[in-house]
Amino acid sequence: MRPRAVAVLASGHGSNLEALVHAQARAPYRVRLVIADRECRALAWARARGLDARLVPPGPHADATQLCAMRDAGVGAVALAGYLRRLSPAFLAGFAGPVLNIHPSLLPSFPGLHAHRQAIAHGVKVTGVTIHFVDEGLDSGPILLQEAVAVREGETPDELLERLHAVEHRLYPQALTIVVEGRYATSGRQVSILPPREE
């Protein structure tokens, strides 16, 4: 199968962007477009790597600019990687493909910012990572993959976040692979993962 073009949207450090790009040589997708809503390390990293990297600040034409760039790059799926802006209904209606997000908690626990700090403040003993399809809510779309991470006794939020990141960087390429291969079926909120096709 010819690799499928995907876009990554980022706002910050971009460690998940890096993980997706590093894994793509052994995966059926290629990151053909990186979009950021602000100047950030992710954008600088993408430029330095020679990727098609665009700054699209918020504004009346931001959705159209993003959609045009995605169409021109032949993008079939989008992965959010620390993208801090909620996608607009116009963007979600204008892009026909799947849009994934990754979140450092076991949703529906701890949606929103600083989920790892929320988890420690709540005193949970198990948290984790969620990869879900994006809808118009906040971290509310149907769940594709989750993996649990046990909180360690006396661990700081930063230590926990590092361990969550390690899981994220392994899980996100797996999720994007499943999505570009079309190996999933949704029924309401339920997402089933289908076995790989026979070659």
Which residues are part of the catalytic machinery?
103
Distance of CA 3 to the CA centre of its chain: 18
Provide the sign of the torsion angle of the four alpha carbons 175, 179, 181, 183, taken in this order: positive
36 contacts its own copies (rule: CB under 8 A): no
Give the shortest CB-146-to-its own copies separation in angstroms. Answer: 4
Shortest Å, Cβ 108 to its own copies = 5
Residue of 106, 115, 161, 178 interacting with its own copies (CB under 8 A): 106
Answer yes or no whether residue 179 interacts with its own copies by CB under 8 A: no
Q: Using an 8 Å Cβ cutoff, are 21 and 10 in contact?
A: no
Subset of residues 46 to 85 that bind its own copies, contact rule: CB under 8 A: none
Lookup result for tokens 């996608």: 87
Please tell me whether residue 104 binds its own copies under the rule CB under 8 A: no
By CB under 8 A, the residues from 123 to 162 that bind its own copies are 123-126, 128, 142-148, 150, 153-154
Neighbouring CB atoms inside 10 A of 26's CB total 8
Cβ contact 86:138 at 8 Å: yes
Return d(Cα 44, Cα 35) in angstroms, integer. Answer: 11
| 171 touching its own copies, by CB under 8 A | no
Binding residues for its own copies, rule: CB under 8 A, are 106-110, 120-126, 128, 142-148, 150, 153-154, 188-193
